[in-house]
Structure 1
């Protein structure tokens, strides 16, 4: 039961994660081992038109998540996580370790940027981000034998010379079934980024200032944002173990420090970022 419950509940989180093809801003406890499984979800998500934007747009969202021969995998936005550790660390515990590969599409298409001044700064190249993650979760903590508390950290590095930097994301997650049909989860995380990442997406050069009328600005490395997310899953056919489910979630993220003070955010956008998603998932 633990495997399928996590698959269904985290579908909402992964749908919300689509806006963060640029960043990790959603919960990601790992799928526990215990048999082959596959969850496929489709839906719609609302997300900022660029990181730091004050306006949202609606886009399609999808994910695939599962486990084959003890190897767990999941997509989260434009990232793929693979857990290469098939065995639990002990009774009730699950240790996760494996690679992460993904892409950052933030501001790569001028027509998706709703602000003319930010659009005048030009498009960014797509960043290909590669790295890894590690985590530890415990099942049967507070409310039942099936609730789960977990913590993890991921590290990715751009290998495509788009932002030429790194993103480190620690996070903590909690989820619990309310019945055989309903499941809810909460998560909190933060992102620490390198200086070249800050320059690429939050600095304004003298040339960029002339084109956009935004003041020049030099952003430095540091904690970029924190996020809190709530998700829910409700089985429409059968129960949470198999079949069709409705998934939904909402996330709030707040930009910090140099990133919030950037004119791209403080003048042309908003440090407060709201994300949401709703969709249908089927677990085989």
Structure 2
């Protein structure tokens, strides 16, 4: 899912959860704040200014999509704006807004390309039964997104409500399928130093995605002891709720060092939840947590 980053706004997105194949559906966060709400701050003071935020930390993630075992992985993220064009990483997704910042009355239209690296079932399969199943190669996915965001909605002139739709398709023949993810998010600054955001999303996945990552063939069943499950079909894959909190350690959210905390809950649906790698060896309930530091230049 791609964040709705309003002009001159997007605080560090959710951390890049390295090694999590399901990160596009699980590593969620909201957008950012335009300016601080306390003190004599001009909300348009950063108009046109190039900026970049880089961050790193650690994340706790499922060992594969549908696992009930969790692993600790390194995390990193980047976002920025160059010459009015925004870019950001979210999970293992990188997006670029090719529409230059020209918001009118707090309304921002977003559109651009998206790429993703899907590591699902490539490694880190903790469960011994799932480790007996055939592994998967890394899938490179590409697509695009369209979004709209409004600044100054509920709590102040600087809170932001946004919605977007992201479409990704496999380009490497690993699952030969697609995902479609609509997202709604809301974020607001609490002070010059603090910001919170929430996000709600869902993902629709194609038949190829379901077959590649959630079926259990007869030979795999003999090796692993899991039931045969060969008729997995695509459809509504999961819904996700997530939250982001950030606190400036140097006094201003717009620049300097900040502490970031991300939490996410996702629940698998349909054949994705009925698959033995989830219903027997794992869980449809998926959690992600991350903490890190970021610096905005």
Give TM-score, length-normalised by structure 2. Answer: 0.89
Q: Distance in 2 between matches of 1:17 and 1:83?
A: 23
Q: Distance in 2 between matches of 1:242 and 1:72?
A: 16
Aligned to 1:101: 115
Q: Check 1:152–1:31 CA distance in 2 against 1; reply closer, same or farther (3 A cut).
A: farther
CA deviation profile, 1:57-109 (whole Å, cap 9, x unmatched): 10100011000001111112222100000143521001110000121011112
1:30 is displaced (CA, Å) by 8.1
Aligned to 2:239: 226
Q: Distance in 2 between matches of 1:243 and 1:97?
A: 28
Aligned to 1:137: 149
Runs of 4+ in 1 over 6 A off after TM superposition: 30-33
Q: Distance in 1 between matches of 2:245 and 2:257?
A: 14
Asked if structure 1 preserves the Cα contact closer than 8 Å seen for 2:18 and 2:75, the reply is no
SS at match of 1:72: strand
Aligned to 1:40: 54
Aligned to 2:129: 117
Aligned to 1:53: 67
SS at match of 1:150: strand
Q: Distance in 2 between matches of 1:128 and 1:267?
A: 29
Q: Counterparts of 1:146-185 in structure 2 under 5 Å? A: 146-185=158-197
Question: Mean Cα displacement is larger for which, 254-263 or 205-214?
Answer: 205-214
Q: What residue ranges of structure 2 are gaps of 5+ in the alignment?
A: 1-5, 35-46
Q: Check 1:271–1:21 CA distance in 2 against 1; reply closer, same or farther (3 A cut).
A: closer
Q: Check 1:248–1:20 CA distance in 2 against 1; reply closer, same or farther (3 A cut).
A: farther
Aligned pairs, number: 278
SS at match of 1:198: helix
Q: Distance in 1 between matches of 2:119 and 2:17?
A: 15
Question: Mean Cα displacement is larger for which, 149-158 or 73-82?
Answer: 73-82
Q: Does 1:188 align with 2:190?
A: no
Q: Distance in 1 between matches of 2:87 and 2:15?
A: 12
Give TM-score, length-normalised by structure 1. Answer: 0.93
Asked if structure 1 preserves the Cα contact closer than 8 Å seen for 2:263 and 2:288, the reply is yes
Aligned to 2:39: none
CA deviation profile, 1:231-275 (whole Å, cap 9, x unmatched): 100000121121000000111110111111111100000110110
Asked if structure 1 preserves the Cα contact closer than 8 Å seen for 2:17 and 2:92, the reply is no
Q: Check 1:205–1:80 CA distance in 2 against 1; reply closer, same or farther (3 A cut).
A: same
SS at match of 2:10: helix
SS at match of 2:287: strand
Asked if structure 1 preserves the Cα contact closer than 8 Å seen for 2:16 and 2:89, the reply is no
Asked if structure 2 preserves the Cα contact closer than 8 Å seen for 1:31 and 1:67, the reply is no
Q: Distance in 2 between matches of 1:27 and 1:88?
A: 24
Q: Does 1:203 align with 2:215?
A: yes
Aligned to 2:270: 257
Q: What residue ranges of structure 1 are gaps of 5+ in the alignment?
A: none
Aligned to 1:283: 296
Q: Distance in 1 between matches of 2:97 and 2:32?
A: 8
Q: Distance in 2 between matches of 1:17 and 1:125?
A: 15
Asked if structure 1 preserves the Cα contact closer than 8 Å seen for 2:167 and 2:178, the reply is yes
